[in-house]
């Protein structure tokens, strides 16, 4: 039995296969089945680049629907997701990426050149870009979709394997990476679902999503996307 938290997420995505879980600004609606399939496509594409279980994937991108798909794809591939504030400077990003030894970094196109220069310190580092609805990550995703490149596999993980790294603010020194395991994420989601008493009938508008984001820890970094969505996607999926 795998303890990869995505296995629990996938069970509930399939349970809500025909239900709209995410509505994005262009009006497109993503169901549980859509999110399962699209995360499988992106996971297959990322593994095609050489991404393996335990590799760090750092992301300095604006919140958006592709961030949700990316996060799910990283989890199901067994890699470790490292979300980074879009306001961080290049020097701060250099510290985080080198300290975590990222195998893959995703950022806006105007940041890519600086991160690519870090290959002198991390030879295996690969860089993809994401600018809203464009970028090399979107190109990779679209190409994988066209070629039916996808990975139905949920890479096996044990409960104490890393799922995410969240860096502290560094107010008393250099920021330190908090190691978040698959069991940590599952427990966090279950606790928040129970504490905030969300029901499957609720919807989160833009302003509510932005209020939730700072308080929801590792999940909020990925899912504070600021679009209308259902709590089923964000917390109940792993409860």
Residue ranges of the domains in the chain? 5-232
* DSSP type of residue 235: T
Confidence (pLDDT) at 25: 76
pLDDT in tens, the chain (239 residues): 789 999 989 988 898 899 888 888 788 888 999 999 999 999 999 999 999 999 999 999 988 889 889 999 999 999 999 999 989 999 999 999 999 999 999 999 999 999 999 999 999 999 999 998 899 999 999 999 888 667 788 999 999 999 999 998 878 888 999 999 999 988 888 887 778 776 666 665 544 443 333 333 444 444 433 334 444 444 434 43
Q: If DSSP codes are grouped into helix, strand and coil, which group holds residue 129?
A: strand
Q: Measured in Å, how far apart are the chain's first and last C-alpha atoms?
A: 17
Name residue 20's beta-bridge partners: 31
Confidence (pLDDT) at 198: 67
Sequence-distant (≥ 6) Cβ neighbours of residue 64 within 8 angstroms: 24, 130, 132, 225, 226, 227
Q: How far is CA 239 from CA 55, 110, 203, in A?
A: 26, 39, 18
Read off the tokens for 106: 């995703």
Q: What is the largest CA-CA distance in the chain?
A: 51
Read off the tokens for 204: 């989160």
Confidence (pLDDT) at 239: 36
Q: How far is CA 202 from CA 196, 208, 230, in A?
A: 12, 11, 6
Total residues belonging to the chain: 239
Name residue 177's beta-bridge partners: 167
Predicted TM-score (pTM) of the model is: 0.86
Query: What backbone torsions phi and psi does residue 22 show, to the nearest 5 degrees?
Result: -150, 130
Confidence (pLDDT) at 204: 58
Domain 5-232 has CATH 3.40.50.12780: yes
CB of 54 closer than 8 Å to CB of 77: no
Instruction: Label residues 116-139 b or e (16+ Cβ within 10 Å = b).
Output: eebeeebeebbbbbbeeeebbbbe
């Amino acid at each position: 039995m795998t303890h990869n938290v995505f296995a629990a997420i996938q069970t509930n995505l399939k349970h809500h296969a025909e239900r709209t879980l995410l509505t994005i600004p262009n009006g497109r609606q993503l169901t549980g089945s859509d999110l399962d399939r699209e995360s499988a496509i992106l996971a297959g594409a990322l593994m095609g680049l050489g991404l393996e279980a335990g590799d760090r994937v750092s992301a300095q991108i604006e919140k958006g629907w592709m961030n949700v798909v990316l996060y799910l794809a990283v989890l199901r591939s067994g890699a470790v997701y490292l979300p980074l504030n879009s306001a961080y400077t290049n020097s701060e990003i250099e510290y985080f990426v080198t300290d975590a030894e990222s195998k893959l970094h995703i950022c806006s196109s105007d940041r890519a050149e600086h991160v690519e220069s870090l290959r002198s310190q991390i030879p295996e580092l690969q860089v993809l870009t994401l600018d809203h609805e464009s970028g090399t990550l979107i190109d990779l995703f679209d190409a994988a979709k066209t070629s039916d490149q996808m990975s139905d596999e949920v890479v096996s993980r044990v409960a104490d394997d890393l799922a995410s790294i969240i860096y502290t603010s560094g107010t008393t020194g250099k920021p330190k990476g908090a190691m978040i395991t698959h069991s940590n994420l599952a427990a966090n989601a279950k606790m928040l679902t129970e504490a905030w008493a969300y029901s499957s009938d609720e919807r989160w508008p833009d302003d509510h999503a932005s209020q939730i984001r700072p308080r929801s820890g590792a999940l909020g970094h990925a899912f504070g996307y600021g679009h209308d969505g259902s709590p089923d996607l964000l917390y109940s999926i792993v409860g």
